[in-house]
Chain A
Amino acid sequence: MATPARSLLSSVRGAGDPASDTGWEDHPPRVGFFTDTSICIGCKACEVSCKEWNGVPDDGYSFTGMSFDNSVGLGADTWRHVSFVEQRGPDAGGVRWLMSSDVCKHCTDAACLDVCPTGALVRTELGTVVVQPDVCNGCGYCVPACPFGVIDQRRGDGRVWKCTLCYDRLEVGAEPACAKACPTDSIQFGPLEELRVRADRRVAELHDAGVADARLYGRDPGDGVGGAGAFFLLLDAPEVYGLPPDPVATTRDLASMWRRAALAAGGLLAGIVVLGMGGSR
Chain B
Amino acid sequence: MTDALSRSYYGRPVLKRPTWAALDIAGYLFLGGLAGASSTLAGVASARGRDRLAAPLRVGAAGAIGMSLVALVHDLGRPARFVNMLRVLKPTSPMSVGSWLLAGYAPLAFTAAGAALTGDRVPALRRLARFAGAGAGLIGPAVASYTAVLVADTAVPAWHEGYRELPVVFVGSAASAAGGLGLLSAPLDEVGPARRVGIVGGLVELVASRVMRRRMGIAAEAYEQGRVGVLVRLSERLILTGAVAALVGRRSRPVSALAGGSLLAGSACLRFGVFHAGVRSAEDPRYVVDSQRERAERERARWERRMSAGTQGTQEG
Nearest CB in chain B: distance from A263 CB, A: 7
- State whether the Cβ of A209 lies closer than 8 Å to any Cβ in chain B: no
Chain-A contact segment, one of B60-68, B87-95, B106-114: B87-95
Known: A85-B9, A239-B285, A272-B175. Is A115-B196 also a contact (CB below 8 A)? no
Chain-B contact segment, one of A43-51, A135-143, A175-183: A135-143
A interface bracket (residues with beta carbon within 8 Å of B)? 35 or more
Which of B10, B99, B148 lies in contact with A261, CB distance below 8 A?
B148
On whether the beta carbons of B16 and A151 are closer than 8 Å, the reply is: yes
Chain B residue contacts of A246, Cβ below 8 A: 292-293, 295-296
Which of B155, B164, B196, B288 lies in contact with A275, CB distance below 8 A?
B196
Chain A residue contacts of B85, Cβ below 8 A: 117-118, 137, 139
- State whether the Cβ of A15 lies closer than 8 Å to any Cβ in chain B: no
- State whether the Cβ of A269 lies closer than 8 Å to any Cβ in chain B: yes
Most B CB within 10 A of own CB, among A118, A253, A264, A267: A264
Q: Mark A251-281, 1 if CB is under 8 A from B, else 0.
A: 1011011101111111111011101111111
- State whether the Cβ of B146 lies closer than 8 Å to any Cβ in chain A: yes
Known: A264-B171, A269-B40, A273-B44. Is A240-B9 also a contact (CB below 8 A)? yes
Chain A residue contacts of B138, Cβ below 8 A: 269
- State whether the Cβ of B255 lies closer than 8 Å to any Cβ in chain A: no
Output the nearest chain A residue to B49 by Cβ-Cβ distance.
A280
Known: A239-B9, A273-B44, A276-B41. Is A119-B87 also a contact (CB below 8 A)? yes
Nearest CB in chain B: distance from A203 CB, A: 20
On whether the beta carbons of A137 and B145 are closer than 8 Å, the reply is: no
Chain B residue contacts of A28, Cβ below 8 A: none
On whether the beta carbons of B48 and A277 are closer than 8 Å, the reply is: yes
Nearest CB in chain B: distance from A279 CB, A: 5
Which of B40, B155, B188, B292 lies in contact with A272, CB distance below 8 A?
B40
On whether the beta carbons of B9 and A242 are closer than 8 Å, the reply is: yes
- State whether the Cβ of B229 lies closer than 8 Å to any Cβ in chain A: no
- State whether the Cβ of A32 lies closer than 8 Å to any Cβ in chain B: no
CB under 8 Å from chain B, chain A span 36-94: 64, 66, 69, 72-73, 75, 83, 85
On whether the beta carbons of B141 and A251 are closer than 8 Å, the reply is: no
On whether the beta carbons of B78 and A245 are closer than 8 Å, the reply is: no
Q: How many residues of B contact A (CB 8 A)?
A: 86
Which of B45, B92, B189, B288 lies in contact with A114, CB distance below 8 A?
B92
- State whether the Cβ of B197 lies closer than 8 Å to any Cβ in chain A: yes
On whether the beta carbons of B15 and A245 are closer than 8 Å, the reply is: no
Which of B7, B87, B189, B191 lies in contact with A135, CB distance below 8 A?
B87
Chain B residue contacts of A69, Cβ below 8 A: 10
Nearest CB in chain B: distance from A62 CB, A: 13
Known: A239-B14, A257-B163. Is A267-B171 also a contact (CB below 8 A)? yes
On whether the beta carbons of B92 and A254 are closer than 8 Å, the reply is: yes
- State whether the Cβ of B142 lies closer than 8 Å to any Cβ in chain A: yes
- State whether the Cβ of A159 lies closer than 8 Å to any Cβ in chain B: yes
On whether the beta carbons of A276 and B167 are closer than 8 Å, the reply is: no
- State whether the Cβ of A23 lies closer than 8 Å to any Cβ in chain B: no
Q: Provide the bound-state CA to CA distance between A189 and B208, in Å.
A: 49
Known: A9-B92, A281-B191. Is A268-B9 also a contact (CB below 8 A)? no
Which of B79, B87, B145, B153 lies in contact with A251, CB distance below 8 A?
B153
Most A CB within 10 A of own CB, among B16, B153, B171, B285: B16
Q: Mark A231-259, 1 if CB is under 8 A from B, else 0.
A: 00000010111111111101101101110
On whether the beta carbons of A115 and B76 are closer than 8 Å, the reply is: no
Chain A residue contacts of B156, Cβ below 8 A: 144
Most B CB within 10 A of own CB, among A117, A146, A148, A271: A117
Which of B76, B141, B293 lies in contact with A137, CB distance below 8 A?
B76
Nearest CB in chain B: distance from A138 CB, A: 2
Output the nearest chain B residue to A266 by Cβ-Cβ distance.
B141
Which of A153, A240, A253, A281 lies in contact with B250, CB distance below 8 A?
A281
- State whether the Cβ of A199 lies closer than 8 Å to any Cβ in chain B: no
Output the nearest chain A residue to B96 by Cβ-Cβ distance.
A117
On whether the beta carbons of B15 and A137 are closer than 8 Å, the reply is: no
Nearest CB in chain A: distance from B94 CB, A: 7
Q: Provide the bound-state CA to CA distance between A148 and B201, in Å.
A: 37
On whether the beta carbons of B9 and A137 are closer than 8 Å, the reply is: no
Output the nearest chain B residue to A65 by Cβ-Cβ distance.
B10
Known: A246-B292, A258-B149, A265-B141. Is A157-B77 also a contact (CB below 8 A)? yes
Chain A residue contacts of B37, Cβ below 8 A: 268, 272
Q: Mark B119-145, 1 if CB is under 8 A from A, else 0.
A: 000000000000000000010111011
Q: Provide the bound-state CA to CA distance between A75 and B19, in Å.
A: 12
Q: Provide the bound-state CA to CA distance between A145 and B16, in Å.
A: 9
- State whether the Cβ of B152 lies closer than 8 Å to any Cβ in chain A: yes
Most A CB within 10 A of own CB, among B48, B140, B148, B289: B289
List 15 additional A-B contacts (Cβ < 8 Å) besides A159-B77, A264-B171: A117-B85, A117-B96, A140-B18, A140-B76, A144-B15, A149-B13, A241-B9, A242-B8, A242-B9, A245-B292, A254-B153, A261-B149, A264-B141, A264-B145, A272-B37
Sorted nearest first, the 6 A-B pairs with minimum C-beta distance are: A138-B77, A158-B77, A242-B9, A276-B44, A137-B81, A264-B167
A-B contact pairs, 15 of them (CB 8 A): A117-B93, A117-B95, A118-B84, A136-B78, A140-B76, A144-B17, A149-B13, A159-B77, A237-B7, A240-B9, A244-B155, A250-B153, A260-B164, A268-B175, A278-B192
